[in-house]
Chains A and B, each alone.
Chain A
Amino acid sequence: MLRDGRAAAGNDAADWIRAIAEKEDRAAFASLFEFYAPRIKAMLMRLGAAADSAEDFAQETLLTVWRKAAYFDPARASASAWIYTIARNLRIDRLRGDNRAKLYAPYEMVEPEGPENPDSALNAAERDARVRVALKELSQEQVRVLQLSFFEGRAHGDIAALLDLPLGTVKSRVRLAMARLRNLLGDLQ
């Protein structure tokens, strides 16, 4: 489950990215790299990449974070969510070579003239806190199937084999975990 200290690093991450954007702060980059590069490498290895290509990918992701630091808007996304989406888009570009990463542009790049929905004009920090609370509310098994299905993009059949569970059980756990997450997020939507 989410350990204390990591959320704190997550909060610092927003400051590190801002320091890069404002004054090309190399020490801030080093801190960001030391926290996220090992995690992105781990994420890629879970997705089936070999250790050295996963590490190349982590390097490329963090270098992209450096280059695009000025685009980070803490009001729209937490640092970890922003880095996650950069890694996602790079992975799609790199692995698929198709136009898919561009599909994210319409809602990433278009600056809304005001809050998209006045009722849910939560700032990213609040959304992030709520997501973390919601994840803590889930059982270990639910978090595991969420990780495998959503984070690692595994097919339900693979998850069933990995966890030695019947396919129907996996499907209902994914559905339940997803619904629980959305439910706990409540009026975020």
Chain B
Amino acid sequence: MTIIHHPSDATLAAFASGTLDEARGVVVAAHLALCAQCRNGVHAFEQAGGALLDDVEPAVLSAGALQRAMAALGPLDIISPAIHQDAAGDLPAPLSHYAVGPWRWIGRGVQWRPVEVASDAGVRVFMLKAAPGTKLPRHRHTGTEWTCVFEGAFTHALGRYGSGDFDEADESVEHDPVVDAEHGCVCLVALQGHIELQSWLGRLIQPFVRI
């Protein structure tokens, strides 16, 4: 697998510092599970976090703080073998913590299944499975739309997104993705707000489309 499209530095840094919301974090984690380069990137930002921690001006502790900590020391955790997070059934590893709904048809050639991730940033997480050659209607977003491809590929004006690729679209992007003619596409999406279909037909059917 050759991954071409990666999350931005700002996104990797936000993930490393724990400030990214959970819903978008799930899609970033899905990419990280597939991309050694970005795992290294996150580690580098964690290293930077550690260096900044070393350099922060220390606060004054209350009297007896060390003694209280020493008194609370208990047994050490016994090291257990690394937890290999296997993909659960047909689900990628980072989704194993979440309830995932059944696949549902939402249009010609397109299936959708929700991933139950609570979000205070108005972000919904779902998987999409599109049949080979599907043309998704031209649309734009009212917020960010982050996508990690698991199988197959799609193409839009910014390039071809294959297995492992990460598409970090914000509200300025308007696109009409075309699904790979041979393999179709399965991907994980974190969508903030909703999509706005651009064609007159799209606007007509919008109220009936769940995303």
The interface of chain A, by Cβ under 8 A from chain B, is 1-3, 6-7, 9-10, 20-21, 24, 26, 29-30, 33-34, 36-43, 45-46, 51-52, 54-55, 58-59, 62-63, 66-71, 76-85, 87-89, 91-92, 96, 98-100, 102-107, 109-111, 116-117, 120, 124, 127-128, 131-132, 134-135, 146-147, 149-151, 153, 174-175, 178-179, 181-182, 185, 188-189
Contacts and interface: CB of A to CB of B under 8 A. Distances in A.
A189 B37 contact: yes
B16 to A, nearest CB: 8
B22 A178 contact: no
Given A81-B46, A175-B10, 13 more contacts: A63-B73, A69-B76, A70-B79, A76-B43, A79-B50, A84-B46, A99-B98, A100-B18, A105-B83, A110-B83, A147-B52, A149-B13, A151-B49
Interface stretch (B26-34, B144-152, B193-201): B26-34
A131 B46 CA distance: 10
Interface stretch (B56-64, B158-166, B203-211): B56-64
Contacts of B52: 135, 146-147, 150-151
B40 A39 contact: no
Contact of B46 (A7, A70, A77, A102): A77
Interface string B85-122: 10000000110011000000000000000000110000
B142 interface: no
B47 A107 contact: no
B157 interface: no
Contacts of A63: 69, 72-73
A189 to B, nearest CB: 6
B51 A131 contact: yes
Contacts of A54: 59
22 contacts: A30-B66, A37-B69, A38-B61, A54-B59, A59-B68, A62-B69, A70-B78, A78-B47, A81-B43, A84-B46, A84-B50, A103-B28, A103-B94, A104-B29, A106-B29, A106-B85, A110-B82, A132-B51, A135-B48, A150-B14, A150-B49, A189-B37
B1 interface: no
A185 B47 CA distance: 11
Contacts of A71: 77, 79
B85 A105 contact: yes
A117 B37 contact: yes
Contacts of B32: 106-107
A189 B53 contact: no
